[in-house]
C-alpha cells in the first residue's frame, strides 16, 4: 500500500492507495478559515496544516482499514505551491517514512492532476490532452505516457481559478470564488455584458485572464454598488462564460492540430458545470473521448498524488532527508520529481 500526503495550498489531504485503487481519500478544507480574507493567507494555511496533517493521515488509514505497518512507501507533493504549506506536508511525509525506513516519492502537484485520470474506475490510458485549470495553475498538457507531460500552453498571468476568486470578491460573493460564481450565474444572462475572451485570435495555446478581471472591475465601477447588487447574476454569468470560452477555444485549437483521441480535465475549475458541458460538446463535435474525474478528484487531493507516485522514482532512506520543496517551476534539478517536460515547437 501507498500513503500519500498533499498540502500544496489550503487543503490538508491524505490517501491510501492499493495500485490504481484509492482505498481512502480524506480532504480537510480550510476554506472557512480564509473566507474572511477573500483568499488564501499562506501563513494561516501553513499553521492549519500543522494542526491537521496528523489527524488527516490517521483518518485516511482508518478509512482504508490499514495501519502504518501496511504502508510500503510514502508519497508527498513537493511543489509547486505555497512553500510553507508544502514544507509541512513534506516534513510529515519524511517523518513517517524515515521512522520505518520506507522510501519517499516526491511528486509534482500538476502531474498529480494529470494522474487523477489513471485511477479506477475507468482509468484513461495515454495519449490524451489534459486541460488543468485551478486556483494556481492553468495549462494545456500533452500526456503521452504516465511519467510526465509536455506543456503545450499555460497562463501568462492569472490562473483561471484565481480570476474566478478575484471576480467573486469584486461581486461580494465570498470565497472560494469558483463555486460562488457558478451558483450566482445560474440566475443570470451570460450575454448581458460583453467580456473579452483574451488570446482568442492568438495562434498559440497560452492563456490570459488578467484583462478579463480588469474588464469586470470596470463594469463594477460603472454600475456602482447598487448597480452591481442589481446585476450581480448577469455579471457573474458573463464573466464565467468568458472564462469558459477561452479555455474551450484553446482546447479546440489543440484538437485541430491533430491526432488526439481523448481529452481529460483536471484542477478545481474542472468541476465547473458549464465548463464540463462545453468541453463535452467540443469532444462530441470532434469525435474524441472525454474523461471527467469525480469532483473530489478535481480539487486538490492526495489520491491524485498517490496515483502519480506509482510511476515516479522512489528515493530510498536516508537519501531524502535533505530533500526540499519548491514553490514554482519544475522542482530541484535532480530529476527525481515527476512533472513537466519542455514544450516542443508548434
Q: Where are the beta strands (DSSP E) in the chain?
A: 2-6, 11-18, 21-29, 73-79, 104-108, 128-133, 138-143, 149-154, 262-266, 289-291, 340-341
| Phi, psi dihedrals of residue 116, rounded to the nearest 5° | -55, -25
Show the cell assigned to 59.
483518518
Q: How does DSSP assign 131-160, residue by residue?
A: EEE-SS-EEEEEE-SSS-EEEEEEBSSS-H
Three-state DSSP class for residue 102: coil
Q: How many CA atoms lie within 13 A of 317 on its CB side?
A: 14
Instruction: For the beta carbon of residue 58, count every other beta carbon within 10 angstroms.
Output: 14
Instruction: For the beta carbon of residue 225, count every other beta carbon within 10 angstroms.
Output: 9
| pTM of the complete model beyond 0.85 | yes
141, β-bridge pairs: 130, 151
* pLDDT computed for residue 329 by the predictor: 56
* pLDDT computed for residue 202 by the predictor: 78
Show the cell assigned to 226.
447598487
- Whether the CB-CB separation of 105 and 314 falls below 8 Å is answered with yes
Q: Report the C-alpha gap between 211 and 216 in whole angstroms.
A: 9
Q: Which residues touch 335 (CB under 8 Å, ≥6 apart)?
A: none
Three-state DSSP class for residue 312: coil
Hey, what's the torsion of the CAs at 152, 156, 161, 166, to 10 degrees?
A: -170
Region of 130 please: left (phi>0), alpha (psi -120 to 50) or beta.
beta
Instruction: Let me know the angle formed at the C-alpha of 89 by 160 and 3, rounded to the nearest 5 degrees.
Output: 100
Q: Which helix (H) or strand (E) holds 218?
A: helix 210-256
Show the cell assigned to 279.
468541453
* pLDDT computed for residue 219 by the predictor: 96
Instruction: Kindly give the confidence (pLDDT) of every residue in the chain, 346 residues in length, as a single tens digit, with 9 standing for 90 and above.
Output: 999 999 999 899 999 999 999 999 999 987 777 766 667 888 888 999 999 999 999 999 999 999 999 999 999 999 999 999 999 999 999 999 999 999 999 999 999 999 999 999 999 999 999 999 988 889 999 999 999 999 999 999 999 999 999 999 999 998 889 999 999 999 999 999 999 988 777 789 999 999 999 999 999 999 999 999 999 999 999 999 999 999 999 999 999 987 899 999 998 898 899 999 999 999 999 999 999 999 889 999 999 999 999 999 999 999 999 999 998 754 443 333 444 333 333 3
Q: Which residues touch 274 (CB under 8 Å, ≥6 apart)?
A: 182, 185, 240, 241, 244
Show the cell assigned to 115.
494522474
Query: If we measure between CA atoms, which residue out of 346, 338, 345 comes closest to residue 77?
Result: 338
* pLDDT computed for residue 132 by the predictor: 95
Q: Report the C-alpha gap between 340 and 246 in whole angstroms.
A: 23
Q: How many CA atoms lie within 13 A of 117 on its CB side?
A: 31
Query: What is the DSSP pairing of strand 11-18 with strand 262-266?
Result: unpaired
Sign of the torsion formed by the C-alpha atoms of 304, 306, 310 and 316? positive
Hey, what's the torsion of the CAs at 216, 219, 224, 225, to 10 degrees?
A: -30
Amino acid at each position: 500500500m501507498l500513503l500519500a500526503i498533499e498540502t500544496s495550498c489550503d487543503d490538508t489531504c491524505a490517501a491510501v492507495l492499493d495500485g490504481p485503487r484509492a482505498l481512502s481519500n480524506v480532504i480537510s478544507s480550510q476554506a472557512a478559515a480564509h473566507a474572511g480574507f477573500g483568499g488564501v493567507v499562506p501563513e494561516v494555511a501553513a499553521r492549519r496544516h500543522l494542526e491537521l496533517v496528523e489527524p488527516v493521515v490517521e483518518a485516511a488509514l482508518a478509512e482504508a482499514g490499514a495501519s502504518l505497518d501496511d504502508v510500503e512507501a510514502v508519497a508527498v507533493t513537493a511543489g509547486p505551491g505555497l512553500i510553507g504549506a508544502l514544507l509541512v506536508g513534506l516534513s510529515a511525509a519524511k517523518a513517517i517514512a524515515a521512522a520505518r525506513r520506507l522510501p519517499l516519492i516526491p511528486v509534482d502537484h500538476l502531474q498529480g492532476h494529470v494522474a487523477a485520470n489513471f485511477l479506477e474506475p475507468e482509468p484513461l490510458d495515454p495519449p490524451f490532452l489534459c486541460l488543468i485549470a485551478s486556483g494556481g495553475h492553468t495549462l494545456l498538457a500533452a500526456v503521452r505516457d504516465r511519467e510526465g507531460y509536455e506543456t503545450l500552453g499555460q497562463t501568462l498571468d492569472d490562473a483561471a481559478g484565481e480570476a474566478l476568486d478575484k471576480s467573486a470578491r469584486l461581486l461580494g460573493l465570498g470565497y472560494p470564488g469558483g463555486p460562488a460564481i457558478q451558483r450566482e450565474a445560474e440566475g443570470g444572462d451570460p450575454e448581458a455584458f460583453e467580456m473579452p475572451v483574451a488570446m482568442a485570435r492568438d495562434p498559440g495555446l497560452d492563456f490570459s485572464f488578467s484583462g478579463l478581471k480588469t474588464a469586470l472591475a470596470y463594469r463594477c465601477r460603472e454600475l456602482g454598488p447598487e448597480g452591481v447588487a442589481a446585476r450581480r447574476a448577469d455579471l457573474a454569468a458573463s464573466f464565467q462564460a468568458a472564462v469558459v470560452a477561452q479555455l474551450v477555444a484553446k482546447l479546440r485549437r489543440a484538437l485541430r492540430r491533430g491526432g488526439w483521441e481523448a481529452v481529460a480535465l483536471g484542477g478545481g475549475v474542472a468541476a465547473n458545470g458549464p465548463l464540463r458541458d462545453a468541453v463535452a460538446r467540443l469532444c462530441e463535435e470532434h469525435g474524441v473521448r472525454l474523461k471527467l474525474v469525480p469532483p473530489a478528484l478535481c480539487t486538490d487531493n492526495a489520491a491524485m498524488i498517490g496515483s502519480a507516485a506509482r510511476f515516479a522514482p522512489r528515493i530510498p532512506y536516508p537519501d531524502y532527508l535533505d530533500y526540499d520543496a519548491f514553490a514554482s517551476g519544475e522542482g530541484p534539478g535532480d530529476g527525481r520529481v515527476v512533472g513537466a517536460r519542455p514544450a516542443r515547437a508548434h
